[in-house]
Structure 1
């Protein structure tokens, strides 16, 4: 398939690794890696982005493939991203807060590293979408400036423009608030450092879940669309998904032996929860379950999956492992470009102009174009923006 060719191109060009975690996991025991990457987490990240891109591509095949059949291979990719992000961020922050004295400068370095990791790609895609919308005569949101501070879904439903940006807002605000919350809690707490961190995680998880339930009752949500807009895609309603990941990082750091012992059970439990939620919502749809439980169940499932895969051993370098790592490296770019830029802007424009020269009436051809364009643009964005910026970050802001 064209997108596989694109991935091989990326790998052959020798794209460098990102999100490198070199610290050991508890008592000096190393996480199993391929080279300098955690292969199990690369595998999870690659699956998550492919699941999201795959799911959004259904509209191109909706007339020829039943949705129930098409969606069989997919689990909740965004929940997996949240748990994975919380796990990785949790490892970094726990390392920072493990020192005797945490200075504001340490938090500032953490923020700079996160911002340099996420904002450049986001900014480039946002500008491309704005320019493209103006040239095509499409409507821009009234408060466009909110996108530049990740606040377009802070207190209201996310606009239709650049829809995938909703999850970026969740993560950016989480990166901003969690270190401050931990710093304040550790300075005022009467308990030990570890106990305080656990309390912050538990209170945050319970508090967010309770907030979602209260919000669902207040807004009287009775449809999947309203649930999606006001519960699933709002900033503060999804912090628990990342906090579960931070909790998993704590367990991996301080209870590493248990993670090694139970890794396969963690993997099975995580998959079981994600599959249960998907099957239950298909067969026994319940608005009550959707409003109050599904986001918690998928967050826990994704977290258990992340914890189990963080110990996945894969020593050999072969075509499969290289493909997995390659997709993982460009996953952030793929997530940013696949929907609004490729699916809703470039593909319609290309189809319109292609019809002037050759009749394009095959759903399969358009579907392959969707994957090909997503792969190629993601590779270009990674090599031209993300990789150079990451090199600058690692030179000037060392973890």
Structure 2
């Protein structure tokens, strides 16, 4: 995920969020790798995969929202500045994405997987209004991010033109209206579609770009509060985090115990489930925004995982998990689950570091020139 901090000013707390998010996503596919049908492991894996991506969305929104907000409140918010912003985003995201996309196409061809609709992946249309992903399944979230980067700056530019006299208010009003708009889009899905299984929920709602942009916009709200109400946000960050923890337990533990599911409570699962998740992360984020540095022994490993998190996200499943599982099945050796998981983590981290060090970072250095 593309959540670098401009000008290399790293905030350790955001590295913690990023590292936590990618480790949750990587762990979420362990059950598939070891062929486990343990219901607890499968459930926890599903939660980790979902929540890890949502963490990335809100964090990305905070960082990108901060960049756009600084431009918005200045006199330099022009088409030229928007294209500079897009150029920097695309240098950050597209080289890695296209390289791994090509690798996925090669793997799919070698293993005989369908690559129907492969061209749509190059313009992030594989899950725009219809789920057409049959390989490189992780790419669904990247489409949401890329279309947010393209769509939101131009909407903000229109409000900037018409409401220059009160930029502070017009920015947050625009963002909140957009959040409400996408929330209402999901409500229309609830009214018009009677699907009642999680597989359809995943492909017809959770993973479609047109219904999920608001998850990133919650990070824009944090950016706005951080810009204009920094002292208040800093004073209440611990209290907000405690509320966030309670909401997390309520949503993902208590509500499950109470029998909330897509059959019994379709309105919640189709409309409010995503909004509540994003709001929970929004409340927790300020604690990490003001966690500027760390001198503990865990500091360096966390920063490393954070730096290579985008490469890890791209490589870990459709490339590494698929190839590793094929290799294990081809060998006439009974590996323990511990060895398989350790190998998976080691290969993922090493290969991601190599991709970051020799391809991703040089591309970012080229961008900065």
User: TM-score, normalization: structure 1?
Assistant: 0.85
Deviates more, 1:87-96 or 1:66-75: 66-75
Q: How many residues align?
A: 361
Measured against aligned partners, the alpha-carbon deviations of 1:198-254 in whole angstroms (never above 9, x if no partner) come to: 111111111111111111221212111111111110002111111110011000000
Alpha-carbon shift at residue 315 of structure 1 (Å) = 4.2
Alpha-carbon shift at residue 68 of structure 1 (Å) = 5.2
Distance 1:275 1:191, change over 3 A: farther
1:301-320 aligned within 5 A: 301-316=280-295, 318-320=296-298
Partners of 1:341 and 1:285 in 2: CA distance: 35
The structure that is helix-richer by fraction is 2
Deviates more, 1:110-119 or 1:153-162: 153-162
The residue that corresponds to 2:324 in the other structure is 347
The residue that corresponds to 1:3 in the other structure is none
Equivalent residue of 2:233, what SS? helix
Give the conservation status (yes or no) of the 8 Å contact 2:115–2:134: no
| 1:148 paired to 2:119 | no
Give the conservation status (yes or no) of the 8 Å contact 1:241–1:296: yes
The residue that corresponds to 1:30 in the other structure is none
Among 81, 95, 102, the alignment partner of 2:77 is: 102
Could you list the runs of 5+ residues in structure 2 that have no partner in the other structure? none
**Higher normalized contact order (CA 8 Å, seq sep 6+, divided by chain length):** 1
Measured against aligned partners, the alpha-carbon deviations of 1:44-91 in whole angstroms (never above 9, x if no partner) come to: 010000011111212234548552597289471111110000000000
Partners of 2:38 and 2:192 in 1: CA distance: 38
In angstroms, what is the RMSD of aligned CA positions? 2.2
Partners of 1:248 and 1:324 in 2: CA distance: 23
The residue that corresponds to 1:138 in the other structure is 113
Partners of 1:91 and 1:224 in 2: CA distance: 35
The residue that corresponds to 1:85 in the other structure is 60
Among 19, 22, 25, the alignment partner of 2:4 is: 19
The residue that corresponds to 1:44 in the other structure is 17
Equivalent residue of 1:293, what SS? helix
User: TM-score, normalization: structure 2?
Assistant: 0.92
Distance 1:140 1:216, change over 3 A: same
1:253-264 aligned within 5 A: 253-264=227-238
Partners of 2:40 and 2:32 in 1: CA distance: 9
Distance 1:387 1:18, change over 3 A: farther
Partners of 1:247 and 1:135 in 2: CA distance: 45
The residue that corresponds to 1:113 in the other structure is 88
Equivalent residue of 1:149, what SS? coil
The residue that corresponds to 2:40 in the other structure is 67
The residue that corresponds to 1:9 in the other structure is none
